[in-house]
Amino acid sequence: MAPKVLVSVLVPLLACSAGAFRLSAGASPSAAIAAVAPAGAVSLSRPSVPGKSGVFYFVLTDRFANGRTDNDTGGYLGGRDDHGFDPTAISHYHGGDLAGLTQRLDYLKGLGVTAIWLTPPFRNKPVQSGTAAYHGYWILDFLAVDPHLGTEEEFRGFVAAAHARGIRVFMDVILNHTADVIVPEGGDIRYRDRAGWPYRDAQGQPFDETRFIDNGLGKPPSFPELSADRSFAHRPTLPAGEEHAKNPAWLNDVRYYHNRGNTDFTGEKSLHGDFVGLDDLFTEHPVVVRGMIDTYRHWIERHGVDGFRIDTAKHTNIELWQAFGPAMREAAGRLGKPGFFSFGEVATSDTDATLLSEFSTLGTLDASLDFPLAIAVRDFVGRAGPAAGLASVFHEDDRYTDHDSTARALPTFLGNHDQGRFAWFLRQLDPAVDDARLLSLSKLGHALLFLVRGQPVVYYGDEQGMIGRYGHDMQARESMFASQAPDFRTAPLLGTTRTGADDKFDPEHPLYRHLAQLARLRAEHPALAEGAMIVRPTNDDAVFAFSRIEREAKVEYVIAVGNQREGEKTVVVPTSQREGAILRRVYQLGGFSKAEAAAVETRAGADGTLRVQVPPLGVVVWQAERPLSRPVVPPTVRLVRPLGAAELAFGAREIDGQRLTERQEVRAEVRGGDGVAEVTFVARRSSRPDTWEYVGTDDAPPYRVFWRPPADWTAGETITFAATVDSLRGDRAVTELPPVRVARPLAVTGIAGASVPRFMERPPAEIRNAVGAEVVLRVRAEGVPEPTYQWYRNGVALADQQGPTLSLRLTPSDAGARLVAVARNLAGAAVSAETVLKIDPEPVR
């Protein structure tokens, strides 16, 4: 028999409940607080993007601007295959440096850039296998600036100069590997697997390294002692003269590498193999984990960087990120940088978000680069693919939702230094495309990039029409300054008569002006950067439409993007507007053949739909004249998944060597309302009947989250899910499912050693006092690691209330306000019951 679903109940915002009490001005409530069982009804906004949503500019420092020529060879003696400098070869250093990057900051500021992500600035092995380390990924000294790029003082000056312009600085960092120094005895680089060649301790006994992985929680495990002679599939050796080539010194110990041979990026080889010979670190080992944390903490503390892009994040065990991400946030927080942001490269060739989302939900990084969106935009723009294909990427956004993560934080991009430039992809999809059409397609793709959810990343040179006509990798890494390399000198550019032989810093270039306009649009209309994104179906698959709505302003923006090559498209777009509502055009890309079609104002029809005309390869953005009014019919909610199950089962999935516990979908169906709402999901386990755990908030249909048991789950427990819908305009409703048993997962689940916070002290259900009175609320939670706290007022995080104690002086606007405390750690979050503020008519005297 299917479990009974409780009927959705409307919850008045000023609901009274047991436990109300009166405070005199300045009184402390702690003595009066009783353990009030929390209700399932609670509304919380989605977690904000650390440091706010930005516009990134990804730059290869060596290929951007040459500010000093005296450092071109890095001070190394010999020829090009000793120092690596040869501006005529695309495989070698071209001379770009930190001085040049600093000199061009105003160029980037004019483009609308708010964050610079630069390739690794660390000292590299200058040359390996006949090519140079101009890209920065062959590191020898993780604590020093590469002399080809400049000095430590110049790096610090660059960071300071960027900060002075309101631009954050992100370093590309590597924890997976170092430069290629280690040589397997006998020269055999073929991969040897763990089944045939297990790791062995110093006495020669085989062991399973997964039993000793350090994830940063508690005391590091007692990892078996290792021996260079006995422990590895290949016996590692160091060439004469390179025994101390790396810094910090522990990196010279061959025992801290996997030593299995080269990877082909499949199965376990994806985690344990050498990346084209690069020495693959033993990232399961506590010495490596703690060593890398100390290394990169140095760059935060000494240079004040604002975040990291993490190279090859996919190719390490996920427990490394459970240790690294929190340690970096803690180091930055101590220095007054609460917005520190780390995102990983989890490269994929498909649009499946399952693996990528694991690195922010289970791996505890802030986000991953959005490879699925890049692939989908290429298809929609380059192939004129159906809008449904693009929409399917956003359908998977809920996989990124948990107690502290959201798809809104994803850095999004169109092309990069590995895969190739966006214009090159477009040309591969249509080899006959002419330059004028290619320029229009590039503009369309970048408009999409700036208008959908996420943080757009501009690949350096795209704003100057670079194509990278010969492809990916080296061929996509042209010099912004006048190139001497034949392949780059003759490379044509879009939108200009300049070529690769010219300087390419033209602020009048049509793509530069296009991107600058899009950046201004995001800055002037915050909903386009930070608002909820609601995909809107249309009656034409050539048009992708969506709304962006910021939860505080509640003003709807309707965006329509057409990929048709010729002729206008007229489509009907559903909205959340009332009949007759006025919307004004605030942005348009592309031109209409009829002047009357380019209307600057339109009205919603009887059913709230908008009749929109979209030019070929065009975009139109409409802004509603007024904020959304309260829905005529309040929304109701019911949980439809999981439903009717005797128990929740959790299978396992192995992806590129990572064995992960699958997550179960928890979905709510919202009826009524006007399509704009937030649904907050919470869960309660039978062993903690007094605590609701926060699962996540979804602000666009389908309303859902994906859940799996945390590591501190007790066998035999049941789980109760509840969901609250909030129209954000005074209407709420809550639903709850009966408890369901949870089967034992087939793989390790959650973060080992961590436990979800549990409130031991809670605030009351209601406080009544007069205007001017001081209210003090206290909570206390237990969990591993130690929880942090965030207070919310009417679902919005209070920026200055981040401890276990909240203090505020009542104002008339506090009448009916709902206060909630959330205790968070790596494992999850607990949410207190709402405390409703009531105001007496007489002010405090």
Tell how strand 582-589 and strand 601-603 pair up. antiparallel
749: tokens are: 């689940």
Residues 6+ apart with CB under 8 A from 535: 391, 394, 395, 545, 546, 700
Question: In whole angstroms, what is the distance from residue 67 CA to residue 59 CA?
Answer: 15
Angstrom CA distances, 810 to 767, 772, 814, stand at 11, 5, 6
Question: In whole angstroms, what is the distance from residue 575 CA to residue 558 CA?
Answer: 8
Provide the angle, in degrees to the nearest 10, between the axes of the packed helices 510-524 and 435-451.
Answer: 20
Following CA atoms 102, 108, 109, 110 in sequence, which dihedral angle do they give, to the nearest 10 degrees?
A: 130
Instruction: Specify the 3-state DSSP secondary structure of 165.
Output: coil
Instruction: Specify the 3-state DSSP secondary structure of 369.
Output: coil
Angstrom CA distances, 440 to 112, 420, 739, stand at 21, 19, 55
Following CA atoms 45, 49, 53, 58 in sequence, which dihedral angle do they give, to the nearest 10 degrees?
A: -160
Per residue in 515-549, is it b (16+ CB within 10 Å) or e — as a string? bbebbebbeebbbbbbbbbbbbbbebbbbbbbbbb
- Tokens 């002290």 sit on residue: 761
> Any alpha helices (H) in 147-224, and if so which ranges?
152-164
User: Which DSSP string do the residues of 755-820 spell out, in sequence order?
Assistant: EEEEEEE---SEEEEETT-EEEEE-EEEEES--EEEEEETTEE-TT--SSEEEEE--GGGTT-EEE
Question: In whole angstroms, what is the distance from residue 211 CA to residue 317 CA?
Answer: 13
Provide the angle, in degrees to the nearest 10, between the axes of the packed helices 286-303 and 152-164.
Answer: 60
Question: In whole angstroms, what is the distance from residue 777 CA to residue 272 CA?
Answer: 50
124: tokens are: 């590299």
Strand partners, 255: none
Single-letter amino acid code for the residue at 774: E
- With contact defined as beta carbons under 8 Å apart, do 525 and 546 qualify? no
- With contact defined as beta carbons under 8 Å apart, do 382 and 415 qualify? no
- With contact defined as beta carbons under 8 Å apart, do 33 and 833 qualify? no
- With contact defined as beta carbons under 8 Å apart, do 719 and 756 qualify? no
Strand partners, 692: 831
Q: Out of 86, 319, 345, 366, which one is annotated catalytic?
A: 345
Element (H, E) at 297: helix 286-303
- With contact defined as beta carbons under 8 Å apart, do 821 and 780 qualify? no
* 221: nearest Cα among 617, 753, 598: 753
Give catalytic status of residue 842 as yes or no.
Answer: no
Single-letter amino acid code for the residue at 773: A
Give catalytic status of residue 311 as yes or no.
Answer: yes
Count CB-CB contacts under 10 A for residue 87.
Answer: 21
- With contact defined as beta carbons under 8 Å apart, do 498 and 520 qualify? no
* 664: nearest Cα among 687, 642, 683, 685: 642
Count CB-CB contacts under 10 A for residue 764.
Answer: 20
Q: Out of 97, 172, 311, 370, which one is annotated catalytic?
A: 311
The angle at the Cα of 66, spanning 63 to 72, to the nearest 5 degrees, equals 90
Task: Tell me the backbone φ, ψ of residue 83, rounded to 5 degrees.
Answer: -95, -20
Active site residues: 311, 345
